Structure 1
Amino acid sequence: MSHWAPCLSTAAKINLLILVVSVAFPWSSLSDRVPEFALTKIEESDRKDDSGKEPLTEDDADPEDLEVFYPTHQWQTIHPGQAVPAGSHVRLNLQTGAREAKLPDSNTENGDTREGKRRKRLGKVDVDSSSFTSQELKKALAKMKESEKAERKAHEEEVRKKFRPIEQLKEEFEKLNVKMETDYEIMVKLISTFNSSVSTLDEKVAALYDLEYYVHQVDNAKDFLSMGGLQLVIKGLNSTEAVLKEHAAFVLGAALSSNPKVQIEAIEGGALQKLLVMLATEQPLAVKKKALFALSSMLRHFPYAQQHFLKLGGLQVLRSLFRQKGMETLHVRVVTLLYDLIMEKALLEAAQDGDQLEEKLRQYGRVRLAPALLEQDWCAVVSHMLPAAEHDTREKVLRALGALLGLCRQRFRDDAALTAALRLLRREYRALAAAERRHGDRRGYFHEMLGSVDSLLRELS
C-alpha cells in the first residue's frame, strides 16, 4: 500500500522530514540520547517468509524506497519498510510481536528519570534495536557471558589465595594429631607416671592433677578402679610428701563422688581410716581441706560408710577441728556436711513407700547420727558459729540450726547468746530486705535470710 505524495519525490520528502525534525528537536540533544528498546531473541526461522527466504530488512533496503514513519508521543506500530527518525524510542511489543516507536518524553531527554539514573549507575545504555541484527545481538550476549565467566573465575582465584583447600587442612590436622588417645589410655599413662620410681615429685603431682579431671566422670572412675589406680591413690595418702597426700585425696574425692561402686571399694581398701588419721593429726591446711572433701564424698548417700564413720569416732575427729588453730575455714565445711547427712535421712523418711525405699530405710536405721550429735554437744558448736561476719556462713549455720531444731530445741531455748544473736540478725536483715524492696526485689536473698531468722525465733519462743 503506497502513501507517496504525487508532487514530491521520496528523497525530497525525507529531506523535508529531516528539516522539520531538526527545527523541533535540537540535534545536540537528540545525538546525546540513546533510545530505549526491549531486547528479544529473534530466531532464524522467524526471519524467513513462506518461501524460505529472508524478508528485506531496513538495513538491506534502498533508502530511497523506505516509507517515512512519523512518530508521536504515543506508541505506534512500525510497518515493514518504514524508516524511523533518529532519536525515537523503539520497542518490541512482546504480546503482538510488532515493533513500536514514539517520540522521547520532554522530561527524559537529559536522562533525569529514575530509570535513567538507575541505568546510568549500573552502566547500562539504551540501544536502538533497529540498528542491530540478531547475529550482532547474539555476539553481544556471548561477550557478556564471557565477561561474567572471567569475573567469576577471577573471584574464585582470589578466594583460593585467601583460604586453603579442605584436603590440605585435613593433612595438616593428621600431622598434628598423629594418634587420638582415649581417656582409658591417658589414665593408664598417668597412673604409670605416678607409680614410677623414676618420676620426679613434680611429675607425680602433675599426673595426679590430670587424673582428678578424668575420674570426675562415672565411667572413667570405674575404669580407674579396674586398672588399680584407686589402690595406688589410697596408698598415696600415706606419703611423706604433703603435696602428694593433698593431690591423692583430691583424686580420691573426685572418684568417690556419686559413684557407689568406687565408694564400696574405697572403704574396703581402708580409705576411711586413712582420711580420719589425716584430719586428726597435724597436717597443713591444704591437706586437711582435700581430706575433708574426700571424706564428704565417701559419706554422702552411703549409709554403710556413715555407720563405720561413727564407729571409728569420726564425729570426735571433726569436733577436734574446732579446737585447732588456723582451721576456721574448715568449720563451715564440717557444718555443711552434718546438715547434708541429717537432711539426707529426713528426706528419705518423708519419701513415698517402695521396695527399694524399705531397704534404704533399714540401712539408714543403723546410722545413729542424732544421738551422737547430741552426746557430743554439737548443738552448742553450731550455735556459736552464728555471729559470723559473712552472709554465706550465716546462711549455712541457719540451715544447720533448723535441721538440728528437733534434736536441740531445749538446748537452743536455754542459750541466751543464741537468742540475742538471732534478734540482732533480724534487725539487720529487716533493713537489708527493706532496701531490696525499694529496688524492686521483693523476694531477694536478704528477704529469705530474714525468713529463716524469724522462723527460728518463733520456734524458740
Structure 2
Amino acid sequence: MSHCIGLLSIAAKFSLLVFLLSAVFLCSSLSDRNPEFALTKTEESDLKEENGKESVTEDDADAEDLEVFYPTNWWQTVHPVPGPFHQAGRKCLDGDKLLFKSIFILGQAIPAGLHVRLNLQTGEKEAKLPDSTNEKSDMKDQKKRKRLDKVDIDSNSFTSQELKEALAKLKENEKTKSTMEVKANLEDVRKRFRPIEELKAEFERLNMRIETDYEIMVKLINKFNSSDSMLDEKIAALYDLEYYVHQVDNAKDFLSLGGLQLMINALNSTEAVMKEHAAFVLGAALSSNPKVQIEAIEGGALQKLLVILATEQPLAVKKKALFALSSMLRHFPYAQQQFLKLGGLQVLRNLFKEKGMEALYVRVVTLLYDLIMEKMLLEGAQNNEDQMEEKVQQYSQVKLVPAVVEQGWCAIVSNLLALPEHDTREKVLKTVSVLMAFCKDRYRGDQHLNITLSMLRSEYEELAAEEQREGDKDGYFKELLGSINTIIQELR
C-alpha cells in the first residue's frame, strides 16, 4: 500500500513538472512572436484609479498576463475578454498566479484592421488577416474618390488643394455632361426632323412650295372672285377661308385683301348656299376682332344680315346669319345701338312666329342674355381708366332692357321653360333671372309660369335626390333646382 502511494506521489510530481515546463515553453514562444498586430500601449493617464493611485500598466505587468490574438490567413476563434477576472487576477498572490493565467488566456484582444465575423453555427467570434495587404488602402482611396465625386467633403479631412481638385473635377464633369446632352438632343432632332432648306429643295423638285396663310388666302379669294370658277369651287374656297379667318391676324389680312367686302356682297346672292357660307366666313372673321367689326358695320353687313333673318330663307342660312349677327354685336356697343335702331329685336322676335325655326330659339335667348350681362358686368366693374369710362358711356346709350320689356320678351323667354331639354331650360332660367328685376310684375301675374316652375321644381327635386344618392352632392340638377327655387322665392 505504501508502495502504491509512493508511485502516485512520484507520478503527481512528474505531472506537475511537465505542466511547469509546458508553461515555460509557452511563454518563451509567445515572447518570440512578431508583435506587428499587437495593441498599442495604454496611456498612463487613462489607467489612474478613483483613489488617485496609478494602476498597473502593460509595462509593469508580466508579458504572460496579456493574451493577444495573433492573426493568420485562416479564420481563428477569438476568445471573449473577461473583464472582472483581469483585475481580480492581478490581486492574487504569487502562489495563485497560475490560476489567474489559466483564466485570463480565455480572453483575447483583437488588433485593428482584421476581418471579423460571427460564426452562426458555433456562436463564436472569428478573425483573420485581410485577403490582400493593399485592400485597406484601396478601400480608403475608393472612399476618398467617391467623396470627391460627390463633393461631400469634410474640411477637416481634406486639404485645400484636394478641395480645389474636387471642385474642378465637378465643373468639368458638369460641363462634359451638359455638352453631351446638347449633342444628344441635336442628334435626336436631326433624326426626327429634316431641315427646312432640305424640305424646300425637295418641294421645288416636286414643283411644290411651302405657302404661308397669307398666300393661301390670296389664292382662295382669287378663286372665289373669279368669274371662271363654278359654284362648287366657290363654296369650297369659302369653306377653306372660314378655317383661316378664325385667327385674329389672318382676319386682319383678310380685311386688307378685300375679302371682307366680298363676303358682305355675297350676302345678296340668289344662291342660298352662297349666302350660308358667306355668312359663316363673315361670322368667323368678326369674332373678338374689333377692327373687323368696325369695317363690317361700315360696309353694311348689319343691314344685310337683318334682311336675311327677316325674309323667308332656309334654316341653315338663317342659322349662319344669326351666328354672324351675334359675332358683330358682342362687345361692340355701337353695333348694338344700331341694331336697336334698325329694329333688330323685332326681327328676332318674329323668328318665334315662324314654323321650323325652333332650333334658333335658344340661340336668340342666349344672345339676349349675353348682351344684358355684358352691360351689367361693365357697369358694376370698379375701374376708373379713361378707356373704360368711355366704354361705359357707350353702353349707357344702348337701351336694350327697356326695349326687351316693351316688346314682350318677358313672356317669350319664360314660355321656353316648357321645352324638354335640360340645357335649354338652364339657359332660359338664367335669362329669366336676369330679367326678373324688370319683369317681376308680369311674372307674378303669369299663372302658366307659376305652374311650370312648380312642375320643374318637383322634377328636379327627384333628379337632385338621385344625384345625391349616387354620391354627387353638387350635381347639375341640384344647380338647376337652386335656380328654380330662387325664382319662386322672388315671385312671392
Common topology (TM > 0.5): yes
8 Å Cα contact 2:369-2:431 kept in structure 1: yes
| Aligned-pair CA distance for 1:165 | 9.9
**Alignment map for 1:60-459 (pairs within 5 Å):** 95=134, 174-176=201-203, 178-354=208-384, 355-459=386-490
Alpha-carbon deviations, 1:420-452, whole Å to 9, x = none? Answer: 101111111111111111111111100100000
TM-score, normalising length: structure 2: 0.60
CA separation of 1:273 and 1:165: change in aligned 2, threshold 3 A: closer
**Alignment map for 1:17-32 (pairs within 5 Å):** none
Alpha-carbon deviations, 1:383-432, whole Å to 9, x = none? Answer: 11111100000001000101111111100111010011011111111111
| Aligned-pair CA distance for 1:172 | 6.7
Which ranges of structure 2 fall in alignment gaps of 5 or more residues? Answer: 1-71, 76-130, 136-189
Structure 1 runs, 4 residues or longer, greater than 4 Å off: 72-75, 163-174
Give the count of matched residue pairs.
Answer: 310
Aligned to 1:142: none
Give the Cα–Cα distance (whole angstroms) in 1 for the partners of residues 195 and 426 of structure 2.
58
Alpha-carbon deviations, 1:275-321, whole Å to 9, x = none? Answer: 00000011110000000000000000101000100111101100110
Give the Cα–Cα distance (whole angstroms) in 2 for the partners of residues 375 and 400 of structure 1.
16
Give the Cα–Cα distance (whole angstroms) in 1 for the partners of residues 462 and 440 of structure 2.
28
Aligned to 1:154: none
| Aligned-pair CA distance for 1:175 | 2.4
Give the Cα–Cα distance (whole angstroms) in 1 for the partners of residues 192 and 293 of structure 2.
52
> 1:364 is aligned with what amino acid?
Y
Give the Cα–Cα distance (whole angstroms) in 2 for the partners of residues 312 and 252 of structure 1.
20
Highest Rg: 1 or 2? Answer: 2
Partner SS for 1:263: helix
> 1:95 is aligned with what amino acid?
N
8 Å Cα contact 2:264-2:278 kept in structure 1: yes
Aligned to 1:135: none
CA separation of 1:190 and 1:361: change in aligned 2, threshold 3 A: same
Partner SS for 1:385: helix
* Identity %, equivalent residues: 69
- Greater percentage in helix: 2
Give the Cα–Cα distance (whole angstroms) in 1 for the partners of residues 230 and 275 of structure 2.
15
Alpha-carbon deviations, 1:80-108, whole Å to 9, x = none? Answer: xxxxxxxxxxxx95839xxxxxxxxxxxx
CA separation of 1:278 and 1:418: change in aligned 2, threshold 3 A: same
| Aligned-pair CA distance for 1:379 | 0.5
Higher relative contact order (CA 8 A, sep 6+): 1
Give the Cα–Cα distance (whole angstroms) in 2 for the partners of residues 293 and 165 of structure 1.
43
Give the Cα–Cα distance (whole angstroms) in 2 for the partners of residues 165 and 394 of structure 1.
52
